Chain A
Amino acid sequence: MLSEAAIKEIEAIRAKYPTARAALLPAIYVAQREFGWLSPEAYEAVSDILGIPKAIARGVATFYAMYRHRPMGRNVVQLCTNVSCMILGAEKLVDFLKNRYSLEPGGTDPDGRFSLVIMECIGACGTAPAMLVNEDFYENLTEKYIEEILGKYK
């Protein structure tokens, strides 16, 4: 079940568009925040409130890389490895996350503290290598800096 606040939020989003269908992407974000990932219950909730078949909602959501299609750790580390980040050492940082935090690309550490997602360009090329942790940008990354950053997330 969605919370009362989430239902209100989706209804407010719905009012910004001429069709209910157009509210689908933002509504999926709200449901994902409520359920932690796009669980069957999340699809059920979005489908009910917007009057869109679950199969359609799932078919649309699975096109997009940034939705959480499976349960994830408490914090999501999104590291860019595209060209500008790659030539400034992003691949070594992938190895570092593997060795230091047991984080495999696409995986979650044994404590469920972090999940690692390898990103295509996050628009921080001038301050590469870069990553997002949840919604926070971190740039000019080094191994030492990553340790410092991740220490803040429990």
Chain B
Amino acid sequence: MEKVLLKNIDNPDSADIGEYRKAGGYRSLPKALELEPKAIIEEVKKAGLRGRGGAGFPVAMKWTFASSDPKFPKYLLCNADEGEPGTFKDRPILEKNPHLLIEGMIISGYTLKAEYGYIYLRGEYPEAKHILDKAIAQAYENGFLGEKIAGKDVRFHLAVHQGAGAYICGEETALIESLEGDRGQPRIKPPFPVNVGAFSMPTVVNNVETLSNLPYIIEIGGEAYSKIGSPDCPGPKLYCVSGHIEKPGVYELPMGTILKDIIYTHCGGIKGGGKLKAVIPGGISTPVLPPDKLDCPMDFVNMPKHGSMLGSGAVIVMDESVCLVKVCYRALKFFEHESCGKCTPCREGTGWLRSILGRIEDGSGVDGDIELLLSVSGNIMGKTFCPLGDGAASVVQNFIKHFRPEFEDHIKNAGCSLKN
């Protein structure tokens, strides 16, 4: 497959506007400006583009909702807060191919009649902040941003808004709160951001990877784009693979590539020829899978049928040296730390889950602890404003579902039999 999102990134100067243009960049923008916004939405619909942040929501539908709201100004926000543990897929776009994202945002802004855009960038990517600031300045100098884009009566202004270390700000309403200068606590929906978003105006929030697909969709057309990868949710997809794997990294492959093939064909298999124990397929919030359940197409439609989710496409591979109780404990420590505190089931529940898992791991677990974990998880699931609580509960439920004997052994033998 031709590289779309990671095109040209081996060029050390790929972040420069001159190099981006030499490689064909900023050619879709004038083409898009010749089209009516409605026609672009139609192309995106034909392309079947779904949001790459984790939810897989159809982009054309989100855009139609925002476009049909009569309020102005409208805002376009790029979610560059990738904080889902295991995820590092947007980083190469931000650091090596920033103009692809910027071109995608200008096209999207024009389509939505949004004249202001912000890239909400996680605080943990200081290098990307400098690169994006420079790229945005270059785009202004070249007339791609500002008052009269490409000489037309189109305005779009873009700035980077730097977060400060809060996972929850990757949730779109928390992101909006944070952009507005508040604590990153999610809002209840409805109203949805497409109607009442940033500064109470219609707002579209899309992930870095999603927006970076726009120039290519304009270039080849929605119809041709829809032929790439899974018919139900097409396009190129970034998979980021980490853990006990021979060749970790970010891979651009057709959406729906089989998980087993990603691990064994593209990434060279388990590190040092080790034995596979478990795989988290889409970032830490997605249900863990045992080695016999990896024949699943990695896309938004098929993963739920195979007992997990695509999430952010962050594959974490774990070999037999790993204690899964400890992984589960570490995950819950993360969720406890990142819970914003707004909803009681999540704020209190994540702490209790972490505490019970901690005692099982260190050898002081008692009979009934597994049932207690399941009971607490069940009391979080579906009872919170945003999906953070559900993610935490589902991690515990799925580790127990697939690896219950390991938890039982910890309790029976008063600790972990693996030395790590």
Contacts and interface: CB of A to CB of B under 8 A. Distances in A.
A144 interface: no
A84 B242 contact: yes
Nearest to A50: B181
Interface stretch (A96-104, A114-122, A146-154): A114-122
A31 interface: no
A120 to B, nearest CB: 5
A136 to B, nearest CB: 8
A37 interface: no
B242 A82 contact: no
Contacts of B316: 83-84, 87, 125
B166 A22 contact: no
Which of A18, A23, A25, A60 has the most chain B CB within a 10 Å cutoff?
A25
Contacts of B241: 126
Interface in A122-137: 122-128, 132, 135, 137
A65 B180 contact: no
Which of B87, B162, B165, B322 has the most chain A CB within a 10 Å cutoff?
B165
A107 B216 CA distance: 48
A29 interface: yes
Interface in B79-138: 82-88, 90-91, 116, 122-127
Contact of B314 (A65, A81, A88, A125): A125
A125 B88 contact: yes
B53 to A, nearest CB: 14
B248 A126 contact: yes
Interface string B214-248: 00000000000000000000000000111110001
Contacts of A124: 88
B86 A66 contact: no
Contact of B181 (A16, A24, A66, A126): A24
Which of B82, B181, B250, B280 has the most chain A CB within a 10 Å cutoff?
B181
Interface residues on A, range: 35 or more
Interface string A13-47: 00010110111111011000000000000000000
Contacts of A59: 183
Contacts of A123: 82-83, 87-88, 90-91, 122, 124-125
A67 interface: yes
Contact of A82 (B123, B184, B330): B330
Given A63-B183, A125-B87, A135-B127, A83 B163 contact: no
Contact of A21 (B127, B181, B243, B330): B181
A78 B90 CA distance: 20
Interface in B324-346: 326-327, 330-331, 334, 337-338, 340
B179 interface: yes
A61 to B, nearest CB: 8
A1 interface: no
Contacts of B82: 123
B165 A64 contact: yes
A59 B182 CA distance: 9
Contacts of A122: 124
A119 B327 CA distance: 16
A88 B316 CA distance: 11
A87 B322 contact: yes
A86 interface: yes
A29 B162 contact: yes
Contacts of B116: 18
B378 to A, nearest CB: 24
B159 interface: yes
A87 B248 contact: no
A121 B86 contact: yes
Interface in B182-230: 182-185, 199
B284 interface: yes
A52 to B, nearest CB: 8
A70 B185 CA distance: 23
B126 A135 contact: yes
Contacts of B331: 83
Interface of A: 16, 18-19, 21-26, 28-29, 52, 59-61, 63-67, 78, 81-84, 86-88, 119-128, 132, 135, 137
19 contacts: A16-B157, A19-B180, A24-B181, A25-B161, A25-B162, A26-B161, A52-B181, A63-B166, A63-B184, A63-B185, A65-B165, A84-B86, A84-B243, A120-B165, A121-B84, A121-B167, A123-B124, A125-B316, A128-B242
The 7 closest A-B pairs by CB, nearest first: A66-B165, A64-B164, A24-B181, A125-B242, A65-B165, A135-B126, A126-B248
